[in-house]
Amino acid sequence: MKKILNLDPNNYSRHLIHGPGRTWAETNCYTDVLIEQIHALGHEPIAALSFTLRADFEGDQWTFFKIPHSDLIDLYGLDIQELAVWRPIVVHIEELINRGSIPVLELDSFFLPDTAGTAYQIAHVKSSVSVNYIDVTNLKLGYFHNQGYHELNGQNFIDIFQLNKLVHERILPPYFEFIKREREVHLSKNDIFEVSRNLLKRNFALIPKNNPFIQFKERFVIDLEWLMKEEAEVFHAYSFATLRQFGSCFELSETYFRWLGSQTKSDIDYSGIAESFKNISDTAKTYQFQLARALARKKTLDLSALDSMMLSWEKGMSEINECLT
């Protein structure tokens, strides 16, 4: 059995992004996995977080934010490619790990024991994992998922890879990527700061042309009417696609600018920018609870929090522009 890294889930140390004191314990499955995978490889994932500034309101949801693959190459020399799935999944995973590449694919959380209490044996939900090792003979898998590193075995292994039977004869293969490490680099603190600053400039040039909270507020007023008539499950899905997405995203923005200001080569005070994004993140978390209560009681909801986040976005982006010009 070959491993990418020699890890034990019992003593694995998560990155601080998944540590105590965070407003949002998790972001989204893909970003969480990459944060922990990059961290486990000995890199600083915070350096890659300027992409979060590009988050936008997409009509019925906020951007499902993911670290751009080009940023991963520039910072760490890690190259993500999509895999064409034409053999059994376990065979592909073995092949990649034997080559020193890291499989990143979508699996069913119904069979992921680390999701106990939310999805495990409760709901079929696709979720991204990165695989550290696979032992087909002994039915074992070591993988990164959500906030940390985990292992599964036995029947969970059989079920998650459908080794005993297919759900139906035309079951579709999962979306499958892999991380090539042939050009992996470990930059010095000064170099990673410089590369990260350059990526900040590149990502800032791609922020939404208009304040996304303006459109979100307009749509939210409409959505609120039908949400009042729906079941709690609809609220949870809506909240994940909107409040949780941009709330957790802008907490990462806050984290990025606090890190940027803490670096020895930094000659700019980024604390004001960080506070603007902290306000968005904190307000989104509070508003999520207020929305849940309003829907449960079928009562109106104060919209002033949306205006507050709108102003914070404007202020934060304006201050970034001043720092970069």
Tallying the residues shown for the chain, one arrives at 325
Q: How far is CA 227 from the centre of its chain?
A: 26
pTM of the shown model: 0.94
With H, G, I as helix, E, B as strand and everything else as coil, classify residue 151: strand
Helix segments in the chain, DSSP class H? 29-40, 69-76, 89-98, 155-160, 189-204, 212-227, 232-239, 245-262, 271-297, 304-324
Q: 141 in helix, strand or coil? A: strand
**Kind and range of the H or E element at 135?**
strand 126-135
Q: What is the pLDDT of residue 171?
A: 73
CA distance readout (Å), 79 to 104, 129, 143, 181: 12, 17, 19, 7
CA atoms within 13 A on the CB side of 111: 20
- Nearest to residue 30, comparing CAs of 150, 147, 176, 128? 128
pLDDT of residue 265: 80
pLDDT of the residue at 1? 78
Cα dist. 174→78, 104, 161, 294 in Å? 22, 10, 10, 38
> What pLDDT, on a 0 to 100 scale, did the predictor assign at position 267?
85
What is the residue-level pLDDT of the chain in tens, covering all 325 positions?
Answer: 789 999 999 999 999 999 999 999 999 999 999 999 999 999 999 999 999 999 999 999 999 999 999 999 999 999 999 999 999 999 999 999 999 999 999 999 999 999 998 899 999 999 999 999 999 999 999 999 999 999 999 999 999 998 876 655 667 889 999 999 999 999 999 999 999 999 999 999 999 999 999 999 999 999 999 999 998 889 999 999 999 999 999 999 999 999 999 998 878 999 999 999 999 999 999 999 999 999 999 998 999 999 999 999 999 999 999 999 8
Burial of 92 (0-12, 13-18, 19+ CB in 10 A): buried
Separation between Cα atoms, residue 124 and residue 111, nearest integer Å: 8
Cα dihedral: 28, 33, 36, 42 (round 10):
-130
